[in-house]
Structure 1
Amino acid sequence: MPTIIDISRVSGLSKSTVSRVLNDHPHVSVESRQKVQKAITELGYVRNTQGVQLRLQASNHVGVLVPDVEQPYFSQLVGALSRSLSSMGYQLVIYQTELSREYERDVYARLLRREMDAVVIAHSHFSEREIKKYIGSYIGIICNEAMDGEFLDVFRLDEEDAVFQATAYLLSKGRRHLFFCMDHLTLLQEKRWNGFQLAHQQFGLACTRSQCYTGLVSMEDGYALGEQLFTSDPLPDGMITGSDFVATGILKAAKQRGISVPQEMSVIGFDNHPVGLMTNPELTTLTNCIPDMVRDVTECLTRRLKGMRSAPIAKTYKATLIIRNST
């Protein structure tokens, strides 16, 4: 079994430096941490954590990384994960990064210290390769992010196809002045934007970045965008949003400006939250497949924690367009 001495030899660093990295000492350079992590991965080193686990009482704890638990999608995902993992005897620990790279890296360091048995990554600033470098041989599962499954198990929605469906539907109804809303500019959101563009290409229509708005998360964001767009010329005749809550804000702005939905403008949400049934008109939306993803993540995680060794699993889910009265 590899030891700290072996890590020191392979990394070319002193035993004391290796020890500081393993104990997450703050005064260690990024380069040294990377060298130690590379050596850990090469050697398949597993730290003797009996004492640590007794002290931290970390057995059967699974972390989940989300940017903001108050965002409806992530609160829904966390709730479903908590219920599913609890039924298997695991306790979910929520790590809210608030889009901090440093905090995300700290969570991976906690995994290496065995403060948890595994981590479910629902949002990340890093590539799949980088995450694998940070966590080494420890268990990390991607849920929601649009990654390829080259190094880690990945369970993801086909974001591009989802927005393609929504856009093609509106274009097939004769809408020609569409706008697309996303939250923060990430790989996942770029996949959605690709779907928006591809639908326009299929219909032989031009599509420019001016049709894309970013930084939209809440009802208030949607309302503010609606106030901006509904005083411009020409008016949009279709909006595809990144969440039902943004769409709800747009619907309110349209009503206050006297714009009839769906006669003058169509609105499509995302995630199929109950709020979409409370709007007037009821909101057309896309499903997010959270129940299916959580079921499969739980099964995969349980098998990994029991020692399953196999190539990474990559599974993609197809969204369904639920047509209601806003289109």
Structure 2
Amino acid sequence: MIDRLDVQRYIEESFPDCTVKSRMALPYRNSRIYHLDLCREQSRERIVVKISRNYQPRQVAAEYAHLSRFYQAQKQESISSPRPLLVDEEKGILAMSHVPGVNLAYMLHEIRPVSLDALNRALDLSAAALAQYHRIFCHDGRRGIQIDRGAPEEDINRQLLTSRSIIPECNLQTMVTPFFDFTPWNIIIDDPEKKMMLYLIDFPRSDYVCTPHLDLARFLFSLELIKQFPPARFLKINRWNVEASFDRFLCGYCRKMKMQPNRHDLDLIALARQAYIRRACDLGRKGRCGWQPKIELAYLRAFSRPWLDQNGGSAQWPRPGWPDKA
């Protein structure tokens, strides 16, 4: 296993004209993140090195390729990503520039509270970012659904196979490479109260092609998940509402894509959301997942059983009252 010193040595060899200083190492659920400084004479640049857990070389290469393509294609001033620096798929190493800010989940959890206006602008910018990502990673109309058989995603694969019969009735029929984990944890917001800037991180590592419904459902699922945790559940900090926030996000996305969702689109998002809830209960797909997912699932089983069982809470989205066309 590569440790902090190994990472520093690797970066020193990769950037021989720089002095490398290690700042910190942060363990996350699916990866270990190392922050380092590259020092050249009077300049200093902070970089991030990501080493994925249970990685496969092709997945590391895919993440770097998706990051690079998005970074190079992105022209909107308020949306970007880290700048890709290098990849070593055999060692599971991906290096990129550091981006400032905090993830949107902190703002929604109220860990880093901001004004409601800033939250709404962050949702609007997130919708624009997903639309931009889908425009960059869209496929021609002849491409059908493609499932990555090497990914341990039985619930998602089953849902995608089921969706084939519904897609012809939908308005959102564009085939895209899904971001797959488009959640507030992977959206970094900088300067939320002034000139807001958004950075996307953790680009996809799998080889899927499907309609946008999967990413839209993932964002809905993540909003609901945030509401299951202590700030909202026990401290009753509820300045924002899941359904209204997702409605705003979905409408913003559809405006950017110049497409109106119909009832079949909404139903397909709801079905994908259910698949994501089932997926959250499946620790086996994570391999050696560590303690965090186990504690998280135990917490949800103890305090959010109706939500996990999909018979309460926000489980009935789209709620009654949505028109046939949103």
TM-score, structure 1 length as denominator?
0.29
Higher alpha-carbon Rg: 1
TM-score, structure 2 length as denominator?
0.29
